[in-house]
Amino acid sequence: MKATLDLYRRLIGVQIRSQLQYRAAFLTDLIGQGMATGIWFLSLALILQRFESIGGWSLGEVAFLYGTVETAFGTMDMIFSGFDPRFFGQQVRRGTFDQLLLRPVSITLQVLGSEFVLRRMGRIVQGVAILAVAVTLTDVRWTPLKLAYLPVVLTSLVCFFGGLFIIGSTITFWTIESIEVVNIFTYGGSELMSYPMHIYQEWMRRFFTYIVPAIFLNYYPALFILDKPDPFGLPPFAPFLAPAAGFGVLAAGLALWRFGIRHYQSTGS
Amino acid sequence: MRLFWELCKLAFRRQLTYRAATLAGLTTNFFFGLLRAALMAALYGTRQEVAGISLAAAVTFTGLTQATIGYLSLFSWYEVMNSVYTGDISSDLLKPMDYFLFWLAQDLGRAIVALLMRGLTMMAAYALIFDVVWPHGAAQWLALAVALALSWLVSFSWRFLINLAAFWTPGAQGVGRFIFGLSWFTSGFLMPLRFFPDWFQHLCNLTPFPAMINTVVEVYLGVLTSPKLIQALLGQALWAVILIGAGQLVLRAGVRRLVIQGG
């Protein structure tokens, strides 16, 4: 176990050092990453001067949803960069993935360590900032349970998005091309989860409740933390399903990944 | 000029062959469109009209902007940049054709395919599930065609210009990402600029970004009176001239300091 962790640290260390070589380029990249997040918030704040609320939720409340998703997605996108379907699809297509298979180390570890995009820090920092703004705007009544649950929710979200990335990458074993439709679940999912779920049409909400359990990862936890009533009348433990949903999706992703590895046939070129 | 159309035709054909990518892009754009339409409905609530835009028009706006993503390469376009980094630019500069026109021709071919395959299909898909608003009468359709053509010219000239940053820094993609991000907001892609406070609209109008999207949107939705309409189209043309001129100047400065690595 110690050897594994040590190896992972070394793989990541190399990535970080190489990315820090061009300081100025890294810095602009970092700012560029965070930009989109900041822009979104500014745009929403300006728009809400005219519209007041989104489906009954205030700026601070929507920002809470957005801040949690953005922080978690940024973190996931940094740690799981190796499993980014776009990046991983390229490895499969070029056959560089086959090289990893020849090495006597866990393949999952190698893929995880094969890419680590440090500039995602920009996104994470902005996500945390928005979360902080959200908390000040909404004056949440904090209880020990809420305080303890927020990090659990964030971790579950990271696992959830990570699981989706792994599923997207595994699919490229069969499709070779990385398929853009996977973006609907990853980037689309994070966009969808940035707004209160009750604004979507019923079929879409059902899909993201029962097929992809996105609703339990931030909408229900947000209802609990912000003390809002549940419009769908799910059982009272629904806000606490985040860890089950998050780790469940990650476990499903890893299971599919292992199945994929066993059936991987290479592109043969 | 013959060379220009040949290149354009080649790029057109090349783009046509990416059928799977087109379909995948379309599906993703459509899904995001659904999310954005739901957001509009939630914002409007019980309101009938905001800043002269009805809910149906606002929903149409989300479809229209999603339909231009491919046409205007709204999310990224780093082809010139990559050719500087790979060194391909050295052979491109030797071609018996102006470097700007060389890329303009290719982007035109690509844009036409994107407009037909992704733009029109997107609007058709929208019309299937939403009450879509359409332009009224021949004059408005004509104005829309002009606005669309000019928006592409402005968009390309601007993309070309920021790609030239590659001559000065190895990390020009970061610069690009930053400016692309800024453009979603200030071009009126995320929300119609009319929804924003006046001071912010004035600020945006100092940049070329509204000429890429907001003008097309306003012409399409018919919210401009005739004099304002002419003014908006002339504004687009002016920005195109400015950006093309700036691109030429920067390109000349860049080529002078370009060093091609041998070997």
| Nearest-by-CA chain A residue for B199 | A46
Is B193's Cβ below 8 Å from some Cβ in A?
A: no
Tell me the ipTM for this assembly.
0.87
Does the beta carbon of A13 lie under 8 angstroms from any beta carbon of chain B?
Answer: no
Q: What was the pLDDT predicted at B43?
A: 94
> CA-CA-CA-CA torsion for A174, A177, A180, A181, nearest 10 degrees?
-20
What H or E segment, with its residue span, contains residue B54?
strand B53-54
Domain presence at residue B170: yes
Domains in chain B, number: 1
CB contact under 8 A, A31 and B178: yes
- B140 is a domain residue: yes
What is the number of alpha carbons within 13 Å of residue B8 lying toward its C-beta?
12
Which among B27, B32, B22, B31 is positioned nearest to B117, based on CA atoms? B22
pLDDT at A254: 96
A42 touches chain B (CB under 8 A): yes
Our CA-based measurement puts residue B72 at a distance from the nearest CA of chain A, in whole angstroms, of 19
Mean pLDDT of the A245-253 span: 96
Percent of chain A exceeding pLDDT 90 equals: 59
Read off the pLDDT of each residue in A10-18 and give the average, rounded to a whole number.
Answer: 91
- The DSSP element (H or E) to which B59 belongs, if any, is helix B55-71
pLDDT class for B261, splitting at 50, 70, 90? low
Please give the average per-residue pLDDT across B31-60, as a whole number.
Answer: 94
Quick one: closest CA in B to A59, which residue? B43
Q: Which residue of B lies nearest to A200 if distances are taken between CA atoms?
A: B38
Residue B262 covered by a domain: no
Do the chains contact at B170 and A25, CB–CB below 8 Å? yes
Q: Distance between CA B36 and CA B77 in Å, rounded? A: 24
> Is B99 part of any domain?
yes
Residue of chain B with shortest Cα separation from A62? B39
Determine the average pLDDT of the residues in A242-256. 96
Residues 166-225, chain A: which have Cβ within 8 Å of B? 177, 179-181, 183-184, 188, 191-192, 195-196, 199-201, 204
B18 burial type by CB count under 10 A (0-12 exposed, 13-18 middle, 19+ buried): middle
Query: What span, in angstroms and rounded, lies between the C-alpha atoms of B47 and B55?
Result: 8
In the prediction, which pLDDT does B263 show?
46
- In a mutational test of the B interface, the residue from A27, A30, A35 whose CB has the highest number of chain B CBs within 10 Å is A35
**Between chains, do B191 and A184 touch, taking CB under 8 Å as contact?**
no
pLDDT in tens, B143-174: 999 999 999 999 999 999 999 999 888 778 87
Radius of gyration, alpha carbons of chain B: 19
* Residue B130 falls inside a structural domain: yes
Q: Does residue B263 fall inside a structural domain?
A: no
Average pLDDT value for residue range B55-80: 94
Residue A55 backbone zone (phi > 0: left; psi -120 to 50: alpha; other: beta): left
- Domain hosting B228: range is 2-257
Q: With contacts defined as CB-CB under 8 Å, which chain A residues touch B74?
A: none
3-state SS, residue A240 = helix
| pLDDT tens per residue, range B101-137 | 999 999 999 999 999 999 999 999 999 999 999 999 9
